[in-house]
Chain A
Amino acid sequence: MIDRAELFGYFLSEAEDHINVLEKGISEIETAPDRKNLIEELFRAAHTLKGSAALVTLTTTSHIAHKMEDILEGLMNQTIRVNSKIVEALTYMLDGIKEVLYGIAKGKDEDPEVEHRILNKVKEILTTAETVQPDIQAVNDAQILNAFPSSREKEPIQSTINESLKQAMQESQLFMGNFIRVDATKVEDMLNLIGELTVKKNYILRKTKDITDLSDEIFFTSRRLLNEVNDFAERYSYSLPENVKYVDPLLSEFGELEFDRYDELNLFSRKLQEITDDITESFKALRDFFEYFGSDVKDMDKMIKLLKSDLTDARMMEIGTLFKRFVKPIKEIANQHGKSVELVISGSLTKIDRVIFERLFNPLMHLIMNSIIHGIEHPEERLQKNKKPEGTVTLSAKRSGDTVIIEVVDDGRGIDIQKISKRALEQGLISADDKLSKEELISLIFIPGFTTAEKINVAAGRGIGMNAVRRMIAGINGIIEVNTENGLGTTVRIKVPSSLAISNVILFRISSLMFVIPASFVEEIIQFTDISEQGLIDYRGNDIIAKEFSKVLQLDNKSKGQPNYVIVCNVSNKNVGLIVDEVLGHEETVIKPLNAFLKGLEIYSGTTISGEGIIRFVVNPVAIFEEQLNNLATVHLTSEDYSGNSILIVDDSISVRKYISVFLESKKFKVYTASNGLEAINVLNEKPVDMIITDLEMPVMHGYELISRVRSSDKHKNMPIVVLTSRGGVKHKNKAEEIGADGYLVKPFDEDSLSGMLKKFFSVPFV
Chain B
Amino acid sequence: MSEGIKEVSYCVFSVGDKEFLLPVNVVKEVIDVVKIFPVPGAPEYVYGVMPVRGKIVPAIDLSKIYPIEKPSYNDCKLIVVDVENEHIGFLSEITPFFVSFDPEIVVEDVINIKTFFQTYRIKETRQSND
Q: A-side interface residues toward B, CB under 8 Å? A: 196, 362, 366, 448, 464, 468, 471-472, 510, 513, 553-555, 592, 595-604, 607, 609, 613-615, 617, 628, 630, 632-633, 635, 637, 639
Answer yes or no: B125 CB below 8 A from chain A CBs.
yes
Contact B49 A448 (CB under 8 A): no
What are 14 residue pairs bridging A and B, where the CB atoms are less than 8 Å apart in the complex? A464-B128, A553-B41, A595-B57, A595-B87, A597-B86, A597-B120, A598-B49, A600-B124, A601-B41, A601-B122, A609-B54, A609-B56, A617-B39, A633-B41
Give the residues in chain A near B130, CB-CB below 8 Å.
362, 366, 464, 468
Q: B11-56: which residues lie under 8 A (CB-CB) from chain A?
A: 35, 37-44, 46, 49-51, 54-56
Contacts of B120 in A (CB 8 A): 597
Q: Which residues of B contact A597 (CB under 8 A)?
A: 46, 58, 86, 88, 117, 120-122
Contact of A595 with B42 in the complex, beta carbons under 8 Å: no
Q: Name the contact of A600 in the complex, choosing from B35, B117, B125 (C-beta under 8 A).
A: B125
Q: A597-B122, A598-B46 are in contact. Are A613 and B51 (CB under 8 A)?
A: yes
Verify A603–B41 contact, CB threshold 8 A.
yes
Task: Give CA–CA (A553, B44) in the complex, Å.
Answer: 13
B122 close to A599 (CB less than 8 A) = yes
B121 in contact with A609 (CB, 8 Å)? no
| Chain B residues with CB under 8 A of A630 | 125
**Residue in A554, A600, A628 whose CB lies within 8 Å of B123:** A600
Asked whether A615 and B56 contact (CB < 8 A) given A595-B49, A596-B121, A600-B122, the answer is yes
Contact assessment for A635 and B49 in the assembled complex, using a CB-CB cutoff below 8 Å: no
What residues on A are CB-neighbors of B121 within 8 Å?
596-600
Chain B residues 87-130 with CB under 8 Å of chain A are 87-88, 117, 120-126, 128-130
Within 8 Å by CB of A601, from B39, B50, B55, lies B39
Say yes or no: A468-B39 contact (C-beta < 8 A), given A595-B57, A595-B88. Answer: no
Interface pair B43/A633, CB less than 8 Å apart: yes
A555, A596, A609: the one within 8 Å of B51 (CB):
A609
With A599-B122, A607-B49: A632-B41 Cβ-Cβ less than 8 Å: yes
Whether B124 pairs with A596 at a CB distance below 8 angstroms is: no
Q: Which residue of B lies closest to A614 (CB)?
A: B37
Secondary structure type dominating chain B contacts = loop
Is the beta-carbon distance between B88 and A592 smaller than 8 angstroms? no
Q: Which residues of A contact B37 (CB under 8 A)?
A: 614-615
Give CA–CA (A135, B62) in the complex, Å.
Answer: 73
Assess A607 versus B56: contact at CB under 8 Å? Given A599-B121, A615-B49.
yes
The answer to whether B84 has its CB under 8 Å from any CB of chain A is yes
* Nearest CB of chain B from residue A516's CB, rounded to whole Å: 13
Which of A554, A599, A614, A639 is the one whose CB lies under 8 Å from B124?
A599
Q: Are A635 and B124 in contact (CB under 8 A)?
A: no
**Cα–Cα distance between A510 and B41 once the two chains are bound (Å):** 13
Q: Which residues of B contact A607 (CB under 8 A)?
A: 49, 56
For B126, the chain A residues whose CB sits under 8 A away are 448, 464
How distant is the Cα of A366 from the Cα of B129 in the complex, in angstroms? 12
* Bound-complex Cα distance A513 to B42 (A): 14
Contact at A602–B51, with CB atoms within 8 Å? no
Tell me which residues across on chain B come within 8 A of A601, comparing CB atoms. Answer: 39, 41-42, 122
Shortest distance in angstroms between A194's beta carbon and chain B's nearest beta carbon? 13
Q: Which residues of A contact B43 (CB under 8 A)?
A: 633
B129 surroundings in chain A (CB, below 8 A): 464, 468
Are the C-beta atoms of B38 and A513 separated by less than 8 Å? yes
Assembled-state Cα–Cα distance A362/B128 (Å): 11
Contact B128 A513 (CB under 8 A): no
Beyond the given A598-B58, A630-B125, please list 17 additional residue pairs across the A-B interface where CB-CB is below 8 A.
Answer: A448-B126, A464-B129, A472-B128, A510-B40, A553-B41, A595-B57, A596-B121, A597-B120, A598-B42, A599-B121, A600-B125, A601-B41, A604-B41, A613-B51, A632-B40, A633-B43, A633-B44
Residue from the list B44, B50, B124 in contact with A602, Cβ < 8 A: B124
Chain B contacts of A602 at CB under 8 A?
Answer: 124-125
Q: In angstroms, how far is the closest chain B Cβ from the Cβ of A469?
A: 9
Residues of B within 8 A of A604 (CB): 41
Interfacial chain A residues near B56, Cβ < 8 Å: 592, 595, 607, 609, 615
**In the docked arrangement, what's the CA distance between A555 and B130, Å?**
34
- Give the distance in Å from the alpha carbon of A604 to the alpha carbon of B85 in the complex: 20
In the assembled complex, which residues on chain A have CB atoms less than 8 Å from the CB atom of B122? 597-601
Q: Give the shortest distance, in Å, between B58 (CB) and chain A (any CB).
A: 5
Closest-by-CB residue of B relative to A512 is B38
Question: A596 to B88, alpha carbons, bound, how many Å?
Answer: 9
CA distance A471 to B55 in the complex (A): 24
- Is B128's CB under 8 angstroms from A595's CB? no
Q: Closest approach, in angstroms, between the C-beta of B28 and any C-beta of chain A? A: 14
A614 contacts which chain B residues (CB < 8 A)? 37
Looking at the assembled complex, report how far the CB atom of A325 sits from the nearest CB atom of chain B, in whole angstroms.
16
Alpha-carbon gap, A471 to B123, bound state (A): 16
**A272 CB to closest chain B CB, in angstroms?**
45
Q: How far is the CA of A34 from the CA of B46 in the complex (A)?
A: 55
User: Closest CB of chain B to A478's CB: distance in Å?
Assistant: 15
Separation of A366 and B128 alpha carbons in the complex (Å): 13
Closest to B126 in A: A448
Instruction: Judge whether B42 and A633 touch: CB under 8 Å.
Output: yes
With CB as the reference atom, state the residue of chain A lying closest to B121: A597
Q: How far is the CA of A637 from the CA of B123 in the complex (A)?
A: 23
Given A366-B130, A600-B123, A630-B125, are A554 and B41 neighbors across the interface (CB < 8 Å)?
yes
- For A362, the chain B residues whose CB sits under 8 A away are 130
Question: Which residues of A have CB within 8 Å of B86?
Answer: 595-597
A553 and B40 within 8 A (CB)? yes
CB nearest to B43 among chain A residues: A633
With a cutoff of 8 Å between Cβ atoms, the chain B residues found around residue A510 in the complex are: 40
Q: How far is the CB of A542 from chain B (nearest CB, A)?
A: 29
Residue ID in chain A nearest B84 by CB atoms: A596
Bound CA span A600–B109, Å: 27
Interchain nearest-CB distance for B33 vs A (Å) = 13
B58 contacts across to A, CB distance below 8 A: 595, 597-598
**Min distance, Cβ A240 to any Cβ of chain B, angstroms:** 64
Q: How far is the CB of B18 from chain A (nearest CB, A)?
A: 22
Q: Which residues of B contact A596 (CB under 8 A)?
A: 84-86, 121
Report the nearest A residue to B50, measured CB to CB. A615
Shortest distance between the CB of A508 and any CB in chain B (Å): 13
Interface centre among B49, B50, B57, by most A CB within 10 Å? B49
**How far apart sit A448 and B50, CA to CA, in the bound complex (Å)?**
34
Q: Which of B38, B46, B87, B128 contacts A468 (CB 8 A)?
A: B128
Contact partners of B128 in chain A: CB under 8 A: 464, 468, 471-472
Query: Which are the 7 A-B pairs with shortest beta-carbon distances?
Result: A600-B122, A632-B41, A630-B125, A596-B86, A615-B37, A553-B40, A600-B123
What separation, in Å, do the CA atoms of A513 and B40 have in the docked complex? 9
Q: Smallest distance from the beta carbon of B21 to chain A beta carbons, Å? A: 20
B88–A639 CB distance below 8 A = no
Q: Which residues of B contact A471 (CB under 8 A)?
A: 128
Smallest CB–CB gap between B12 and chain A, Å? Answer: 23
How far is A609 from B51 in the complex, measured between Cα atoms in Å? 8
| A762 CB, nearest partner CB in chain B, Å | 20
**Within the assembled complex, what's the spacing in Å between the Cα atoms of A595 and B58?**
8
Q: Is the CB of B40 within 8 A of A555?
A: yes
Q: How far is the CB of B105 from chain A (nearest CB, A)?
A: 31
Contact at A639–B40, with CB atoms within 8 Å?
no
Q: For B35, what are the chain A residues with a Cβ–Cβ distance below 8 Å?
A: 613
